Amino acid sequence: MARESLESRKKKILEIIEELNLLVKEVEPRLRARMSSKLSELYTLIMSS
């Protein structure tokens, strides 16, 4: 089985982050900010690798 390239895995992770950002809007406000912050942190880590 062929292994996914780093770029294709990175693209898939970014798509998941995008979906999670949409779902965060449905979360109660006190958790929303923390979740958004962690997703932003994750996005930054992925983009810097």
Confidence at residue 4, expressed as pLDDT on a 0 to 100 scale: 77
Question: Model confidence at 29, in pLDDT bands (50, 70, 90)?
Answer: confident
% of the chain at pLDDT higher than 70: 96
Question: Model confidence at 2, in pLDDT bands (50, 70, 90)?
Answer: low
Which distant-in-sequence residues (6+ apart) come within 8 Å of 39 by Cβ?
A: 17, 20, 21, 24
Confidence at residue 49, expressed as pLDDT on a 0 to 100 scale: 79
Confidence check: pLDDT of 3 > 50: yes
Confidence at residue 19, expressed as pLDDT on a 0 to 100 scale: 95
Which distant-in-sequence residues (6+ apart) come within 8 Å of 20 by Cβ?
A: 35, 39
